[in-house]
Amino acid sequence: MIKLKINMRKDGQQVARFRDTKGRLVRTSAGQVNWVQARQLMQLALYGIKLQREQAADGLGSDGLPMPPLKSGPRRFIQRVNGQAQFAKKLRNLYGPGKDGHMLDDIRVNYVDDKRVQFAITRRPSRIKALANEQRYPWYGWSPASVRKLTARAAEIFGTGVAEYIVSLGLASANAVASSGRFLRRIS
């Protein structure tokens, strides 16, 4: 459960924040009722981040094609065939500089409210590494296959959100929404 902390600034503006699962602060707004809820946008953003990580782990660029291997650097020995050493091609290094870890772990949500969600690579060394890799071969962004998955997930998440909103307004009962898939098709 998210514990939302709302503070009032001197200028009368409300500022809301909560801590994510790792204890980091995430800004949000104390906004009004909307068709979309912040938790739904958060679910979609986390799924999008997951897709980006999977795509990079599979060695796919943002165009959906395999990223070319690096031309320099140490290669990994695999086996000997007829006295000849066989080496693996060196793949893109998406690990952060030094002992800092994997730069893909630094992609996180840094703002969410009922209207939008923002996520980015939040640590500076990882952003520098990501930009360098992006200039060599575009990798940051969803491939067409990932966009299809993300769109399908959004339909699942926001279809439920519309139904919940209609129930909260008292225009339908929760039982009618849960028992009838036709209800959602009729209102859209």
* Helix, strand, or coil (residue 121): strand
pLDDT band at 186 (very low <50, low <70, confident <90, very high): very low
* Domain range for 83: 31-141
CB 184 within 8 A of CB 156: no
Domain assignment present for 182 = no
Residue 39 is assigned to a structural domain of this protein: yes
Neighbours of 171 (CB within 10 A): 10
Residue 82, CA atoms < 13 Å, CB-side half-sphere: 0
DSSP 142: -
50, part of any domain = yes
pLDDT of residue 125: 86
Strand, helix or coil for residue 7: strand
C-alpha span between 71 and 8 (Å, rounded): 55
| pLDDT tens, residue by residue, 108-125 | 999 988 888 999 998 888
CA distance 126 to 55: 17
Per the domain annotation, does 113 fall within a domain? Answer: yes
Task: List all residues 6 or more positions away from 159 whose beta carbon is below 8 Å from its beta carbon.
Answer: 184, 188
Q: Is residue 49 in some structural domain?
A: yes
Q: Is residue 169 part of a domain?
A: no
The confidence band for 143, taking pLDDT boundaries of 50, 70 and 90, is very high
**157 domain-assigned:** no
Mean pLDDT for the chain? 76
